[in-house]
Amino acid sequence: MFGFILMTIASASLVRAQDGDIIAPDNKTQCISQMVEWCNGMQYPQQGVGMTMLSITFEDPTGYYRAFCVSDGEGTNCTRNGMPWFSCSPNHTLTYKGTTLTDNSTEVDDDICLTADRAFNDLFVQNLSYNTTTSFSRDVVL
């Protein structure tokens, strides 16, 4: 039996804003809305068809941290230094640090806008789990 595995592994350091980057607002309500909209727009392959993994080290005023994200037919799940950060399920349920977010959510920490900025500009510039033109593929015997 042949299966198809799509995998992208990326590693990078802090990247400064460049022309064309999406700038996340400083307003938490707007950042939540953008994250919810992002999750609602995500498309996932059939279960077992593709996978994207990203491991990126970022720097912020408190130091360095590592983001690790997996995106496949079961959704997108990102951790920050090994702790739950944000996720999006195939049925478009968004969680942030373990709490489900909707357009009406208001109780989030001050990092939500930085998270939105990282998601849009560094982690998911394209929907990599679904877009095969940005990834390499290989048939693997399962």
Enumerate the β-bridge partners of residue 139: 4
pLDDT at 2: 37
- pLDDT value of position 4: 36
Top-ranked range on mean pLDDT: pick from 27-31, 42-46, 47-51, 97-101:
97-101
Residue with tokens 């279960």: 47
Give yes or no for residue 8 having a pLDDT over 60. Answer: no
| Mean pLDDT for all residues in the chain | 74
Q: How many residues does the chain have?
A: 142
Q: Which of 1-10, 41-50, 68-77 has the lowest mean pLDDT?
A: 1-10
Question: For residue 127, is pLDDT > 80?
Answer: no
pLDDT in tens, 64-106: 999 999 988 889 999 999 999 999 999 999 999 999 999 999 8
Question: What is the helix (H) or strand (E) element at residue 9, kind and residue range?
Answer: strand 9-10
Cβ proximity of 53 and 70 under 8 Å: yes
Radius of gyration of the chain (CA): 15
**Cα–Cα dist 72/140, whole Å:** 16
Q: What are phi and psi of 101, to 5 degrees?
A: -110, 140
* 52 neighbors 7 (Cβ within 8 angstroms): yes
CA dihedral 8, 11, 13, 16 (to 10 degrees): -10
pLDDT tens digits for 27-40? 899 999 999 998 99
Q: Does pTM top 0.75 for this prediction? A: no
Stretch (H or E) spanning 2: strand 2-7
User: Which pLDDT score is estimated for 45?
Assistant: 77
Q: With bands split at pLDDT 50, 70 and 90, how would you rate the model's confidence at 53? A: confident
The mean per-residue pLDDT over the stretch 47-59 comes to: 82
